Structure formats: C-alpha cells, structure tokens
Amino acid sequence: MDKNLSINELEALLAQAKQSESNPARQALEGQLNKMLNEPIRSTAPKPQPKVVRDSFTLPENDYQLIPDLQDRALDLRLSVTKGEVLRAGLHALERMSEEDYLAILKTVEKLKPGRRKGT
C-alpha cells in the first residue's frame, strides 16, 4: 500500500471499505487504514543541529591525564567516548551539582596563570 496517501485519501478509502460488503480482505484493509489514521504524524524534517563552538584552553598535565582515564572507565562500561564527550559530560555533571558540592569542587581546582607560556 502506498504510504504517501494524504489523510483525506485515507479517510475516503476507509469510508469505501465501511460501505462495501464485509469480507476478510476488506476488514484487513480497514484495520490498516485505521492504524495509519491513528498514528501520530511524524515530521520527516531533520532536527536542526546545535551550533558547534571551537575553543582552546590549557590544562595541567595531571588534569589532562584524567580524560583518557575516564575514557577507559567508559570502555569498561562498554561505551566508547571521545575526549570532547568526556568534557561535555563533566560540564553537565557540574551543572547538576548542588551549590555546596560545586563550590567544594571549584576550590580543589589549581589556579593557572592566564595566557600562553613562552618557549613551549
């Protein structure tokens, strides 16, 4: 059956099936048409992708080493993740923290001098 029929065409076919004598083929057609009419209409338009922002930042080596450690931890859970996904998950976790927990974590983070180091 052609799935590209409009709602009006489907309703017309359903009305025809109801008016005609009942037989198993027509009852099956009526059941299919009812099912198609009652299905929610799904949009075929793709969801717009969020804008991606590129940025750069500096991390101490011990913090940077946490990324592959967390990737390995995800692999132990049978999930492969990228560095970016690990960082984004961390941001979402921080966002969900209580104010007290968030403040406690922020106080443990080492302060770095802003800017790039010369000679590196």
Q: How many Å apart are CA 63 and CA 107, to the nearest integer? A: 15
Q: For residue 81, what pLDDT is reported?
A: 95
Q: For residue 24, what pLDDT is reported?
A: 73
CB 88 within 8 A of CB 74: no
| Cβ-based neighbour number of residue 33 at 10 Å | 22
Q: For residue 46, what pLDDT is reported?
A: 81
Q: For residue 22, what pLDDT is reported?
A: 62
Please, where are the H alpha helices in the chain? 7-19, 24-38, 61-76, 83-96, 99-108
The DSSP output letter for 98 is: -
Residue extents of the structural domains in the chain: 7-38, 61-108
- What is the full per-residue pLDDT of the chain (120 aa) written as tens digits? 555 667 777 777 777 766 666 667 777 777 777 777 777 767 777 888 888 898 888 889 999 999 999 999 999 999 999 999 999 999 999 999 999 999 999 999 988 887 776 765
